[in-house]
Structure 1
Amino acid sequence: MLYLIRHLIRRVRKRPSTLAFTLLTLILIAPLLLYHLLAYYLANDPRLVPRAFRTAKNILLITAHPDDETLFFSPSILYRNDDPTVNRALLTISSGNYEGIGDLRQSELQRSCAELGIKPERCVNLDHYELQDNPQKWWSEDLIDELVAQHVKKWNIDLIITFDHRGISGHINHRAVSAGVSKYISKNVHGPPAYALQTKFLLRKYAGLGDLIPTSVPFSARILKALLTAPSEYGVVKAGDGKSAKGREDPYGDKALLVSDWRTYFQARRAFSQHGSQYSVDRVFYLLISRYMWYNDLRKMT
């Protein structure tokens, strides 16, 4: 082993291009290998996907504007998309009428929901006069709290997904949605668990699969454990054990890493293509290089 290391060092000294080629190969190949591992081999491992995601029957995604559901949350909302027992719901707080095309964007959202497997009656796009699309207005947290409570009760929701406090893009409406959901969670400690999608700085947002490596660092111990050991009994919910499982604390319930496989990724693209009014040249690149189209890193809201 020592001989091989010395041999490599001598080669690098003689030909620096060897080191550059090796590093470039690692930079290109490592994210692809990690993607394949997380999107296929460990896609449902309880060390990476909390029990709440693996057992939820009625999932509610709460966003601010039409197209948020595909641009940011598609890996989350499409998780277990082949499970017929799962009912998905989308609550979009505004119609996105900032440019006066709210009616068009509402109809686009319905078509997007159809592509995502969300039933029309559970694809709700509000148009409340106090909650209009406006990048300079902070929405009422109390009103959002009230609306969330109504729809959680109406659809018997057992999992909520939404923005974190920075709102992914920093949009003030996104951040207000997060604050409103946080208020609901703080008032309903025995309500459904809620998870917030994590905001990353600009370069990481558009690093595509390349950002999967730093994203996986907080999960590295869990990934290693998943590779080396089988899930323990508290991580696996057996048939008929769902009710008792809810009473046990999930040791891996604090965060989730959801990675879309190729089939799910293209389903998300088809869903976004329904938002024709928002389909511009920059969005074409976004669909390719945005981390949020490929994977979601979420934290539990408390």
Structure 2
Amino acid sequence: MNYVSAAEFQISCIPSKWAVCFYATTVVLIFYILITLHIYHQYHDNYLNTIFTPDLYQQINSRNHGYNLLIPHPSSSILFIIAHPDDEVLFFAPTLRYLKNTYEHLKKMPLFNQTFFQFQGYDNYNIYILCLTSGDYYGLGEIRKQELIASCQTLGIPSSRIVILNFADDPNVRYDSWHLYNTLQNYTDQFFTNNFHQRQINETYSQYIFTFDNYGVSGHLNHKSIFSGLRHFTEPHNFYNKSRMLFEIYTLQSINIIRKYLSIFDLPISYYSSRDSKNLIIISDLEQYTLSVRSFLNHVTQLRWFRYLYIVFSRYMCINIWSNYNTSINHRHKHKQFLFFNYTYESNVEL
């Protein structure tokens, strides 16, 4: 019979370095997942409490849990500027669904009632989609137009609020910034001041533009061109457009490729890097994410294997972080902050 000495027994009980690494990694991953779930639940609890609390002014103007929320007044008009059909869901779906749900919550508040909404003619805010191209790079422009309309309808945006332009769909083309600015100026006039009554409303409540930042999420030149055109809106001599309409510009934060494909597990990084800044944080719940996937399935021409990987692993399908570029129109909020419906912060970031 072979006997094991006490020293040999003690040595055999010491785990190998690979076992230590495995256990340590497992503990770290579990801890990270728990943090992700905690932030996710705290965000949505805070969002619902903010919408339904009796004292909205105090709630929205305090930074509960560090979450930055945007709750536009029902009279606000909101324009999303995208470059291609499918951008609306691949990058902006969490925000579109967030605005849809926020509007539905506002309709249930005692401050407003169905008569108010019917009289004013509001429907899920006045959300518009301006798409610069038809997605005709492979000659499928007409099909992709219809796919965009079907996708937006799934997201709750009617076809009457979608405009598709004829800029070149080419990843190697960067649009002339002044030509794009003039084009955008004409359409912001159309969307934000479509009649005299709406013009009066716009003088009281903020209007919003949501689009790409200077990197365009993926570095696509068409995406980056939008930002270049919007820069001219913030220049001193252009600080009003033709209708003398004031609006806020929000740009979607670009991140590195590793974070881009962490899906919901990028949430702790996004939260802790943004909670002390002036950024807006929007996080989809499971129902909103599922609807976003259904929306993308309308883009039949884009259903390839790598797109399926994208909708599963992309952080932009469930998290949007927005930077606010108010620049020279920031002083407006010091005088025209209307009650509790505009939870925004002034930004000193330059374009």
Is the counterpart of residue 148 in structure 1 residue 187 in structure 2? no
| From 239, 243, 247, the counterpart of 1:188 | 239
Partner of 2:148: 109
What runs of 5+ residues in structure 2 fail to find an aligned partner?
A: 1-13, 51-59, 104-122, 194-206, 328-351
Matches within 5 A, 1:58-207: 58-82=77-101, 83=103, 84-127=123-166, 131-156=167-192, 158-186=207-235, 187-188=238-239, 191-207=246-262
2:98 partner SS:
coil
Is the counterpart of residue 31 in structure 1 residue 31 in structure 2? no
* Distance in 1 between residues matched to 2:283 and 2:15, nearest whole Å: 36
Is the counterpart of residue 272 in structure 1 residue 296 in structure 2? yes
Deviations 1:31-71 (A, max 9, x none): 22222222x113365443455x4336211000101100100
Larger RCO of the pair (alpha carbons < 8 Å, separation 6+)? 1
User: Judging changes above 3 Å, is the alpha-carbon distance between structure 1 residues 136 and 85 closer, same or farther for their aligned structure 2 residues?
Assistant: closer
Matches within 5 A, 1:208-287: 208-221=263-276, 254-287=278-311
Task: Note the C-alpha offset of 1:267.
Answer: 1.4
Task: Note the C-alpha offset of 1:166.
Answer: 0.3
| From 286, 289, 293, the counterpart of 2:313 | 289
* Distance in 2 between residues matched to 1:277 and 1:197, nearest whole Å: 25
Partner of 1:55: 73
Given residue 31 of structure 2, which amino acid in structure 1 is its aligned partner? L
1:139 partner SS:
coil
* Distance in 2 between residues matched to 1:103 and 1:112, nearest whole Å: 15
2:320 partner SS:
strand
- Between the aligned residues of both structures, percent identity stands at 29
1:27 partner SS:
helix
* Distance in 1 between residues matched to 2:176 and 2:298, nearest whole Å: 30
* Distance in 1 between residues matched to 2:246 and 2:182, nearest whole Å: 14
2:178 partner SS:
helix
Deviations 1:169-222 (A, max 9, x none): 10001000111122223322562001000111110100111111111113345x
* Distance in 2 between residues matched to 1:43 and 1:295, nearest whole Å: 15
2:100 partner SS:
coil
**Does the CA contact (< 8 Å) of 1:112 and 1:272 recur in 2?**
yes
Is the counterpart of residue 41 in structure 1 residue 70 in structure 2? no
1:99 partner SS:
coil
Of 180-189 and 117-126, more deviation after overlay is shown by 180-189
* Distance in 2 between residues matched to 1:185 and 1:103, nearest whole Å: 34
What runs of 5+ residues in structure 1 fail to find an aligned partner?
A: 1-10, 222-251
Task: Note the C-alpha offset of 1:85.
Answer: 4.9
Deviations 1:103-160 (A, max 9, x none): 1111111111111111212111112xxx211111110212221222222221227110
State the aligned residue count: 256
User: Judging changes above 3 Å, is the alpha-carbon distance between structure 1 residues 23 and 62 closer, same or farther for their aligned structure 2 residues?
Assistant: same
1:299 partner SS:
strand
* Distance in 2 between residues matched to 1:30 and 1:276, nearest whole Å: 36
* Distance in 1 between residues matched to 2:150 and 2:25, nearest whole Å: 47
Deviations 1:63-121 (A, max 9, x none): 10110010001111222313245121100001111111111111111111111111212
Larger Rg: 2
Output the aligned Cα RMSD: 2.4
Partner of 1:237: none
Given residue 85 of structure 2, which amino acid in structure 1 is its aligned partner? P
Given residue 239 of structure 2, which amino acid in structure 1 is its aligned partner? N
User: Judging changes above 3 Å, is the alpha-carbon distance between structure 1 residues 85 and 207 closer, same or farther for their aligned structure 2 residues?
Assistant: closer
Task: Note the C-alpha offset of 1:30.
Answer: 2.1
* Distance in 1 between residues matched to 2:26 and 2:292, nearest whole Å: 35
**Does the CA contact (< 8 Å) of 2:93 and 2:317 recur in 1?**
yes
* Distance in 2 between residues matched to 1:20 and 1:212, nearest whole Å: 19
* Distance in 1 between residues matched to 2:275 and 2:247, nearest whole Å: 28
**Does the CA contact (< 8 Å) of 1:12 and 1:19 recur in 2?**
no
Given residue 184 of structure 1, which amino acid in structure 2 is its aligned partner? F
Task: Note the C-alpha offset of 1:285.
Answer: 1.4
Given residue 249 of structure 2, which amino acid in structure 1 is its aligned partner? A
**Does the CA contact (< 8 Å) of 2:47 and 2:69 recur in 1?**
no
